[in-house]
Amino acid sequence: MEILRRVGLWSIVDTGMIWLAAALAFYGATSGNIIVTAIVLTVTYHVFAVTFQLQGRTWSHTSVQDLLAIVKVVSLAIAVSMIAIAVMTGLTSLEIGFFIFTFIAQLMLIGGTRLAVRLRRDRTQQKAQQQSVRTLIIGAGEAGTQLLQHLQKNTKSDVLPIGFIDDNKKKHKTRLLNVPVFGGMNKLETIVAKAQIEQIIIAMPSMPHATLQAITKQAMATKVEVKTLPELADILSGKLSVSQVQEVDVENLLGRDPVQLDMAAIATNLTGETILVTGAGGSIGSEICRQIMTFNPARILLLGHGEHSIYQIHRELGQLDSDVELLPLIVDIQDIKRLRDVMQTYQPDVIYHAAAHKHVPLMEANPLEAVKNNVYGTRNVAQIAHEIGVKNMVMVSSDKAVNPPNVMGATKRIAEMIIQSFDEKSNTKFVAVRFGNVLGSSGSVVPLFKEQIKKGQPITITDKRMTRYFMTIPEAAKLVLQAGSLAKGGEVFVLDMGEPVKIIDLAKNLIRLSGLTENEIPIIETGIRPGEKLYEELLTTDELVAEQIFPKIFVGKVTPMKEDVLLGYLQTILQLSDQEAAQKTIKLANASCNQGDEQIV
């Protein structure tokens, strides 16, 4: 339909130009019939226009080849018209000057209309380019090429590619789709200033994370906006495309390659099974559920105390094209009767226990609540898992369980001890997974810092010396799934999380990622809160092990606390005051760390 409209429009325009050229030519003619001549010129022109497919062309991109086609059509039309007029009126009445003038006039008028369309398009594009964001692309490889092709085809894009940066010297001073490759990363700052770059897009999705981190930091140092392409896994899976440029987030600055999973082992553990996830509406629990879905279990039991979060994850997973049965279950793990009813009814094969109170200062203020949820809740889940013969139970623990000075870490350590104790006497394989802070999880520093930046408030940190291990939510969930497949019983699995990150550096990066400076968003030190440590550990000294049992995964086998000691604690702790309960809990947790009975496997 569009091609017919274009052909019809240009046919009308060209007919008008032919008649105008003929009329102008007749001013200098001494004889002849203008009507007959114009009709002959029109007919012959359109015959050759159809032959050379002149009218169906897109004239907003008029090229030299298009103009040559016009010259051919007009020339042939004039020549044939001269012959036709000579046959009809005789050679004596044929005026060569008339046809020469008509030829020149037709070329100017017909060619001029096409050039006018092209000039209008160029002027519009030039105005758009003046308003477009001058962009430098880092990476002149396949991903960078695909990105450039998309930007050039997308007329509505406000991104103007100015050039490429690539460390491959063979590409320097060449042109990729008519866009220059300026040089390597060593010239980045100079090129950004000289070319007046307003935005950098890093187009290197397959690059190792450590290299990407260095490139991202160097790009951010130029003070212009930095964006990146989706991860290679998301591009290959079809989840995202190369054209979906993303904001650089703090995860891009971790500089750690993602954990590679043994998919076959995890599938053996999950496919066709009934899986129970406690805390399924939380940050870690919900991501565990998302990743479990890819292994096609028969059923996932989405168990949690908060109805809104369980509703959200149930609704999200329910929208996926999957045959997995999803059961939302509102259950408090402290309520052992309700928990037993649910677990006996649905008979889970594997349990991922992610339900916990994890906010350190809040648990310092409410120690008995931490004990009831993190200790008693874990014991309840483990007890019923043992009773009904669950194959595996994986508990989500924390690096704060190591030498804990606070209630939250102490309750997590005691929960690990409970898991170890059940593993000694049960056919169920009980294991724990320890990792550091999770970026973006509820209650973590990143959402807090982002909120403070959004409100234009200073970022508050407790101590400039403080460091933490960080991982992304998907990484944490993957480690939990892999631990379940590796479980022999009694292990505490730990991810090699790389180097700890200074909280102050994290805050500075978030300020820069927001396009602001520390003058606009200052960083204020408030002092260490009750129960906080300057640094976290993933394993005690006795638990350290040099060899990985799986790429980036370590294991420290901790000898469980004697059962009578645990029972004595559980029977008396709720009878104490908050302060007494906090002291006893921290003392027991640290006694287990320091008694020297930990062995490494």
Please state the rounded mean pLDDT for residues 466-487: 84
Secondary structure letter of residue 185 according to DSSP: G
Q: What pLDDT score was predicted for residue 542?
A: 56
Query: In 3D, which of 515, 556, 431 has the Cα closest to residue 225?
Result: 515
Domain assignment present for residue 510? The answer is: no
pLDDT band of residue 546 (cuts 50, 70, 90) is very low
Please state the rounded mean pLDDT for residues 421-431: 93
Tell me if 94 sits within 8 A of 82, measured CB to CB. yes
pLDDT band of residue 527 (cuts 50, 70, 90) is confident
User: Between 591 and 540, whose confidence is greater?
Assistant: 591
Share of the chain above pLDDT 90, in %: 37
Domain assignment present for residue 258? The answer is: no
Q: What is the number of structural domains in the chain?
A: 3
Within 92-187, residue ranges assigned H as helices are 96-131, 142-153
Q: Is 155 helix (H, G, I), strand (E, B) or coil?
A: coil
Q: What pLDDT score was predicted for residue 20?
A: 85
Name the helix (H) or strand (E) containing 596.
none
**Domain shared by 108 and 140, yes or no:** no
Task: Examine the pLDDT at 366 and tell me if it is beyond 90.
Answer: yes
Domain assignment present for residue 493? The answer is: yes
**Domain shared by 365 and 335, yes or no:** yes
Q: Are strands 350-353 and 392-396 parallel, antiparallel or unpaired?
A: parallel
User: Between 580 and 11, whose confidence is greater?
Assistant: 580
Within 389-502, residue ranges assigned H as helices are 407-425, 445-454, 473-486
Highest mean pLDDT among 147-156, 281-290, 487-496, 527-536: 281-290
User: Between 371 and 158, whose confidence is greater?
Assistant: 371
Highest mean pLDDT among 190-204, 323-337, 546-560: 323-337
Please state the rounded mean pLDDT for residues 523-535: 82
Task: Examine the pLDDT at 581 and tell me if it is beyond 90.
Answer: yes
Q: What pLDDT score was predicted for residue 234?
A: 53
Highest mean pLDDT among 412-426, 482-496, 506-520, 533-547: 412-426
CA-to-CA distance for 584 and 375, rounded, in angstroms?
A: 13
**Domain shared by 419 and 545, yes or no:** yes
CA distances in angstroms from 454 to 226, 247, 503, 510, 521, listed in the order given: 18, 16, 18, 11, 10
Domain assignment present for residue 513? The answer is: no
Q: What pLDDT score was predicted for residue 241?
A: 55
Please state the rounded mean pLDDT for residues 267-284: 95
> Catalytic: 400?
yes
Share of the chain above pLDDT 70, in %: 84
**Domain shared by 320 and 336, yes or no:** yes
Q: What pLDDT score was predicted for residue 347?
A: 97
Highest mean pLDDT among 39-53, 72-86, 336-350, 554-568: 336-350
Task: Examine the pLDDT at 343 and tell me if it is beyond 90.
Answer: yes
Residue ending a domain, choose from 129, 155, 187? 129
Both tokens of 77, joined, read 């039309």
Task: State pLDDT tens for residues 188-245.
Answer: 999 999 999 999 999 888 788 778 888 988 998 888 888 888 765 555 455 545 456 7
Domain assignment present for residue 136? The answer is: yes
What letter represents residue 319's amino acid?
Answer: Q
Domain assignment present for residue 260? The answer is: no
Q: Is 335 helix (H, G, I), strand (E, B) or coil?
A: coil
pLDDT band of residue 537 (cuts 50, 70, 90) is low
The torsion angles phi and psi of 175, rounded to 5 degrees, stand at -125, 135
The torsion angles phi and psi of 334, rounded to 5 degrees, stand at -75, -20
In what side-by-side order are the strands of the sheet with 175-176?
Answer: 175-176, 179-183, 159-165, 133-138, 199-202, 225-228, 246-247
**Domain shared by 27 and 150, yes or no:** no
CA-to-CA distance for 125 and 313, rounded, in angstroms?
A: 45
Domain assignment present for residue 41? The answer is: yes
Tell me if 556 sits within 8 A of 600, measured CB to CB. yes
Catalytic residue among 171, 358, 372, 400: 400
Q: What pLDDT score was predicted for residue 258?
A: 61
User: Between 299 and 469, whose confidence is greater?
Assistant: 299
Tell me if 279 sits within 8 A of 304, measured CB to CB. yes
**Domain shared by 174 and 121, yes or no:** no
User: Which position has the token pair 């809104």?
Assistant: 308
Mean pLDDT of the chain: 83
CA distances in angstroms from 26 to 101, 108, 258, listed in the order given: 9, 17, 80
- Write down the pTM of the prediction: 0.68
**Domain shared by 136 and 121, yes or no:** no
Please state the rounded mean pLDDT for residues 168-177: 91
Q: Which conformational region is residue 474 in: left (phi greater than 0), alpha (psi within -120 to 50 degrees), or beta?
A: alpha
Q: List residues bridging with 460 in a β-sheet.
A: 524
Residue ending a domain, choose from 248, 277, 302? 248
Query: In 3D, which of 415, 407, 410 has the Cα closest to residue 375?
Result: 415
Give the CATH number for residue 413: 3.40.50.720
Strand ranges (DSSP E) for 229-340?
Answer: 246-247, 274-278, 299-304, 325-330
Q: What pLDDT score was predicted for residue 100?
A: 83
Please state the rounded mean pLDDT for residues 77-95: 76
Both tokens of 549, joined, read 């049992």
229 Cβ contact list (under 8 Å, min separation 6): 143, 147, 201, 202, 203, 204, 205, 235, 242, 244, 245, 246
Q: How many residues does the chain have?
A: 601
**Domain shared by 36 and 105, yes or no:** yes
pLDDT band of residue 255 (cuts 50, 70, 90) is low
**Domain shared by 172 and 93, yes or no:** no
Task: State pLDDT tens for residues 277-299.
Answer: 999 999 999 999 999 999 999 99
Q: What pLDDT score was predicted for residue 400?
A: 86
**Domain shared by 111 and 148, yes or no:** no
Task: Examine the pLDDT at 316 and tell me if it is beyond 70.
Answer: yes
344 Cβ contact list (under 8 Å, min separation 6): 384, 388
Radius of gyration, alpha carbons of the chain = 36
Written in H, E and C, the secondary structure of 473-512 is HHHHHHHHHHHHHHCCCCEEEEECCCCCEEHHHHHHHHHH
Which domain, by its residues, includes 137? 132-248
DSSP per-residue string spanning 515-540: T--TTTS-EEE--PPTT--SS--SS-
Q: Is 367 helix (H, G, I), strand (E, B) or coil?
A: helix
Please state the rounded mean pLDDT for residues 247-266: 72
Handedness of CA 62, 65, 67, 72 (dihedral sign): negative
Domain assignment present for residue 507? The answer is: no
CA-to-CA distance for 62 and 490, rounded, in angstroms?
A: 74
Task: Examine the pLDDT at 67 and tell me if it is beyond 70.
Answer: yes
Task: State pLDDT tens for residues 31-42.
Answer: 566 787 788 888
What letter represents residue 529's amino acid?
Answer: R
**Domain shared by 198 and 97, yes or no:** no
Tell me if 276 sits within 8 A of 301, measured CB to CB. yes
**Domain shared by 60 and 100, yes or no:** yes
